[in-house]
Amino acid sequence: MPIGVHVSIAGSIDKAVDRAVELGCTTFQIFTRNPRGWKFSDLKKEDVKHFRDKLNGSDLVSPLDHMPYLPNLATPDEEIYKKSVDVLAAELKRSSSLGIPYVVTHLGSHKGKGLAFGIKRVINACNKALKEANNDTMILLEITAGTQNSVGSTFENLRQIIDGTRPDNRVGICFDTCHAFAAGYDISRKEGVARTINLLDEIIGLERVKAVHVNDSKGPLGSGLDRHEHIGMGYIGEKGFRELFAYKHFRNLPLVLETPVDSRQDDAGNMAKLKQICT
């Protein structure tokens, strides 16, 4: 199973590969730049080469690039929207240069303008970014937790966006376990996992799911709370993860943990826990 965590690019971007290897990861996720601002510098050619050389010389597979925090692909604010589309296009180009196959993005908030408006904005944003970044890197739409005014908390919403995006072979899904659970998909028990997987396959198609963010949930089922918890310490629990990863398709995807780091558990501890649950 390809298991890893989000690692820092501090120092230079190629150091992320070193950190992933040191942690015992077999996949990993990064931001390619400071995630808390709009401005960023172009990647240096030597850093790109070092990153690719280290990646190719390791056992790491299918790394993920996560979009920064500020972009909102569903916003009605035209200035923010343009900046968001530009960042998405830039991340697709940066990931392609680094040999990263996927850019994971949150879909954002329609700010009260309505779900139909928000979905249309996301579709247009993806189409513009994909046209500008003419390469093979895919956009992965991350399912959201169902917070107020958010877009993408149901499989039906995600299907609509896929159907409107061209080329549709460059858009897939990142299944976040905490978000899905908070949005109302019960993956804490065998029957709920089976129903969720069947719905996912029927509405979207399992082949569209390209990566998983593995997080337990501090909020109960359907709470809409995007609050990640250590593996096995939240409402999903060990049983839920064991049932979910009994499905072969999910076991073969890049599994990236975005769990807390605190006195109870660190990244290595969460990876070890997930491996223990899944063996």
- 66 carries an active-site annotation: yes
- 46 carries an active-site annotation: no
Neighbours of 181 (CB within 10 A): 28
- 247 carries an active-site annotation: no
- 228 carries an active-site annotation: yes
- Three-state DSSP class for residue 109: strand
Amino acid in position 222: G
- 249 carries an active-site annotation: no
Q: Are strands 255-257 and 3-5 parallel, antiparallel or unpaired?
A: parallel
Catalytic residue among 65, 91, 142, 216: 142
Query: What letter would DSSP give residue 189?
Result: S
- 195 carries an active-site annotation: no
**In angstroms, rounded to a whole number, what is the distance separating the alpha carbons of residues 109 and 152?**
9
In the block, residue with structure tokens 């247009």 = 124
Catalytic residue among 121, 228, 235, 243: 228
- 179 carries an active-site annotation: yes
- 142 carries an active-site annotation: yes
Catalytic residue among 6, 19, 33, 106: 106
Catalytic residue among 33, 94, 213, 230: 213
Query: What letter would DSSP give residue 193?
Result: H
Amino acid in position 113: K
**In angstroms, rounded to a whole number, what is the distance separating the alpha carbons of residues 146 and 223?**
8
Task: Write the CB contacts of 94 (distance below 8 Å, at least 6 apart in sequence).
Answer: 32, 33, 43, 65
- 185 carries an active-site annotation: no
- 69 carries an active-site annotation: yes
Catalytic residue among 42, 53, 69, 136: 69
Catalytic residue among 36, 59, 78, 262: 36
Catalytic residue among 19, 66, 110, 121: 66
Question: Tokens standing for 191?
Answer: 């029957």
Catalytic residue among 110, 170, 179, 230: 179
Q: Which residues belong to the active site?
A: 36, 66, 69, 106, 142, 176, 179, 213, 226, 228, 258
